[in-house]
Amino acid sequence: MDGKGRNLLIRAAAKGYAFAVAFLLELPEVKQAVDQRDLSGLRAFDHAVLAFDQTLLVCQPDLEKFNPFALVPFLVVQPYYEWRSPYPKVARLLLEAGAAPKVEAARRHWLDNCPNSDVEMRRDVAEATELQPTLLSLRFEVARLHCMRRAQDAFDLMQEIFGARWSAERMAAEEQAFWEKKRAECGSEGAQIPG
């Protein structure tokens, strides 16, 4: 048990370590306590549904502005999560071991602890019938929004530097071309997780 009341199963599920969850669930004493809660009231299944190590930017989309010390470790582990996407498997293993399929505690935890998330994303989470797939898909919307923000920042800088030299007509044409290019780059499939 750690300082947050998390046993090994909860910790492995929270990190998305499917191999460790599968191993631990072979132990009868672990399987009997599959729905044990940590100090925040979450079970291993709840942590797997939230998939925080993969969906943190949905909860805290401006993390890089607040806390680079949290952002860097998050970005370092993203290749593991993007390549393996382990959380659905972890959730499935826990359900097969007898975990209750309830997600309301996880949803409530997310809504209570993610006040900086986008209003529409909060609504999507509050109304989702399938919470985990919703959270996992929202990270692409966050990536698209980050991409659009970077594009706007780049354009604003161009405008600040060269604005006095451009005629209004040329500026309008250049702005149109720039935004068409950036929209194509920031489409839902072309956006990259910020980093």
DSSP track, the chain? --TTS--HHHHHHHHT-HHHHHHHTTSHHHHHTTT---TTS--HHHHHHH-HHHHHHHH-TTHHHH-HHHHHHHHHHHHHHHHH--HHHHHHHHHHTT-----HHHHHHHHHH-TTS-HHHHHHHHH-SSHHHHHHHHHHHHHHHHHHHHHHHHHHHHHHHHGGGS-HHHHHHHHHHHHHHHHHHTSTTT-----
For the chain, what is the domain count?
A: 1
Q: Please report the pLDDT score of residue 72 as a whole number.
A: 77
Check residues 154 and 14 and name the one with the higher pLDDT.
14
Domain assignment of residue 159, yes or no: no
Q: Please report the pLDDT score of residue 190 as a whole number.
A: 44
Question: How would you classify residue 51: left for phi > 0, otherwise alpha for psi between -120 and 50, otherwise beta?
Answer: left
Q: Please report the pLDDT score of residue 189 as a whole number.
A: 46
Domain assignment of residue 105, yes or no: yes
Instruction: Tell me: pLDDT of 32 over 90.
Output: yes
pTM, 2 dp: 0.76
Domain assignment of residue 160, yes or no: no
Domain assignment of residue 154, yes or no: no
Q: Residue for token digits 């405008």?
A: 159
Q: Please report the pLDDT score of residue 165 as a whole number.
A: 64
Cα–Cα dist 183/189, whole Å: 11
Domain assignment of residue 169, yes or no: no
Domain assignment of residue 3, yes or no: no
116 Cβ contact partners less than 8 Å away, ≥ 6 residues apart: 59, 60, 61, 62
Q: Is the dihedral angle over the CA atoms 45, 46, 50, 54 positive or is it negative? A: negative
Q: Please report the pLDDT score of residue 191 as a whole number.
A: 47
| Residue ranges making up the domain that contains 83 | 8-139
Domain assignment of residue 190, yes or no: no
Taking the CA atoms of the chain, what radius of gyration do you get in angstroms?
Answer: 21
Check residues 65 and 72 and name the one with the higher pLDDT.
72
> Which has the closest alpha carbon to 77: 57, 97, 94, 93?
57
Check residues 181 and 36 and name the one with the higher pLDDT.
36
Instruction: Tell me: pLDDT of 164 over 90.
Output: no
Domain assignment of residue 156, yes or no: no
Check residues 19 and 156 and name the one with the higher pLDDT.
19
Token code pair at residue 92? 């499935």
Cα–Cα dist 96/70, whole Å: 33
Cα–Cα dist 167/165, whole Å: 7
Check residues 55 and 47 and name the one with the higher pLDDT.
47
